[in-house]
Structure 1
Amino acid sequence: MNMADLEWYRVFTTVARCGNITRAAEELFLTQPAVSQCIRALERELACTLFTRTPKGVRLTREGEALYSHTARGCEAITRGERVVRGMRDLETGTLAVGAADMTLQFFLLRPLEQFHAAYPGVRVSVTNGPTPETLDKLRQGRIDFGAVSSPVDAAQSLHIAPYTALHDVFVASSAVFPNLRGKSVTPAELCALPLVCLEKNTSTRRFLDGWFGSHDTALAPEFELATSHLIVQFALRGLGIGSVVRDFAAEQLASGALFELTLAETPPPRAVCLATDPASVLSAAAVRFLDIIKTYYEHNEDSFL
């Protein structure tokens, strides 16, 4: 069936439902001659008469009734499908699937997500939480629309990685337990000798720290390896070690004085929050709009890479 055939059936179904060519033409935004032409073309194709004329319009023949019993359901399904697609296009409905780690979700995605949800409440948003390698795997598998990840990103060439804003890794300590370290310049080797609390190995943050310490000829051997930065802050507050976190995670505790930031002789270079997309996949209207909101939100940020 070609597109012309499909249009014939759509016209036939509308005429059959209206029982009148004039009303059908108005509903279809076609001229009466165009409607009549479609009906004649379909009758030629099927080699039968589908309508008989009446004083008030048209009436289905037996063959027309048999055909309408099938096309009515088909056209209704097509109409529903068109309605769903238009709703997705206009962001009245649809879904958005995003992958992110704790840090990128809380300090990068959350505020743009609030804006998106307020503007498009009909779009259902699913956020999958996990470390960067897991997020990239889900993106390759097509399980998410895009991922918000932190560098360094060991991604296949098939993915597009765009940096958006800077991250600053710091080391924080309890003011009550480690007052002797406040204001002291600490080298990477001296830092590594302290009881450190870091993220687990399957994270981009840990991979970055391992590389940074390695570049200073020392190996990172944490006292504690934890799953989330929130836990690292709690361990640091209780004096269980020196916490390695992105500065934003400890901002409240640093401001209150419960924690202080160690002064480093050499500071780790800034990293980036990146958006990962798969060029081989077509982004939904919801995903495109959310990415636009993120870009607008961060393009004037002082740490922006845009």
Structure 2
Amino acid sequence: MIGKLDLYRVFSVVAKNNSFSRAAKDLYMTQPAVSQAMMQLEKELGTRLFNRTPKGVTLTTEGSLLFEYTNSALGLLDAGEEKLLEFKNLTTGQLKIGVGDTISRFFLMPYLEAFHTMYPNIKLQMLNGTTSEICNFIKSGEVDIGLCNFPIEDATLQLTVCTDVQDIFVCGEKYKTLVSKSLSYQDLLKFPLVFLEKKSNSRRYVEDYLVGYGIHIEPEFELGSHDLVLEFARSNLGIACVTKEFSKDYLQRGLLYELILEESIPPRSIGICYLKTVPLSRAATKFVEIIEHKRLNTRKTMKKA
């Protein structure tokens, strides 16, 4: 039995051709099948749609009214199908990413560039926040994926590690003499400390680790960005806890000095997170694939070296 939508499609073609036989050719159907379909539609609607003549058919007043709406509705459906095809082929669409300033600047940019080169018509939207804020963005549907500091304890999120990073302590010129010796965590407490704010996931990771050694920190400065932490250390305002991979420029230029610790803080990870229960859009899937592909290539290169 022909479905209601198919009946309207047949009706539209018959109305445009003013003929069952010509409509049958366009639809690759038999003329009796087209005629039967129109009789079924008229029966279901309880009204006559066509005036049947030896020369063909013409629309009744009711048929003309229905044709206006049917033609418009089918046009919208066709446009919708075309738009879906565009999304499938990534010739249009949007990708919304939740990420912090530091990860965006030091990790994400090359992947954004690669994705934009491959899919220039996909609009990229970035929403800034801390790890906890980004997780909330994901759950509320404000972003498709997030790039966050791990660890994250949330059973609703799919987590994929992208790279490992190392937390270190650094100092400026004023405290440079400390570089020549190995320091304990207890030694650090003798100096003013510069940390990220408490809601930062990386801050919590280091703080939780230090608590395991019985060390409870009370930083003199708690700042909202990694760049500010670096600048405060460079200005000799204290010993700063920073991410080594995001501080290379300061270290290489001799603006900051890495302190040697008796016990290094274990590495942590940066990764992608998204809802387990919601399938990723095609754009988000491709973006994740780009990151994972480069990560695998990097590992292979390191193994060969």
The reply to whether TM is greater than 0.5 is yes
Q: Deviations over 1:190-218 (max 9, x none)?
A: 12322221100001111011112111111
Partner of 1:254 in structure 2?
A: 251
Deviation of the 1:240 alpha carbon: 1.6
Structure-to-structure mapping, 1:122-137, within 5 angstroms: 122-137=121-136
Identity of aligned residues (%): 35
Partner of 2:171 in structure 1?
A: 173
Q: Is the 8 A contact 1:131 1:204 kept in 2?
A: yes
Partner of 1:159 in structure 2?
A: 157
1:224 correspondence with 2:208: no
Q: Deviations over 1:100-129 (max 9, x none)?
A: 122322233221111111211222221111
* Higher deviation after alignment, 18-27 or 208-217: 18-27
Deviation of the 1:268 alpha carbon: 0.5
Q: What TM-score do the two structures reach when normalised by structure 2?
A: 0.88
Q: Deviations over 1:65-92 (max 9, x none)?
A: 1211221221122222222222222211
Deviation of the 1:3 alpha carbon: 7.8
Deviation of the 1:162 alpha carbon: 2.4
Q: 1:201 aligns with which of 179, 198, 201?
A: 198
> Which secondary structure state, in structure 2, belongs to the residue aligned with residue 178 of structure 1?
helix
Q: 1:173 to 1:57 in 2, by over 3 A?
A: farther
Partner of 2:146 in structure 1?
A: 147
Deviation of the 1:136 alpha carbon: 0.9
CA RMSD of aligned residues (A): 2.5
Number of residue equivalences:
300
Q: 2:275 aligns with which of 274, 278, 281?
A: 278
Q: 2:287 aligns with which of 276, 284, 290?
A: 290
Q: 1:96 to 1:23 in 2, by over 3 A?
A: farther
Structure 1: 5+ residue stretches without partners: none
Q: 1:172 to 1:36 in 2, by over 3 A?
A: farther
Distance 1:49 1:277 in 2: 54
Structure-to-structure mapping, 1:83-162, within 5 angstroms: 83-155=82-154, 157-162=155-160
Q: Is the 8 A contact 2:99 2:146 kept in 1?
A: yes
Q: 2:237 aligns with which of 240, 250, 253?
A: 240
Q: 1:225 to 1:26 in 2, by over 3 A?
A: farther
Q: 2:185 aligns with which of 156, 174, 188?
A: 188
Q: What TM-score do the two structures reach when normalised by structure 1?
A: 0.88
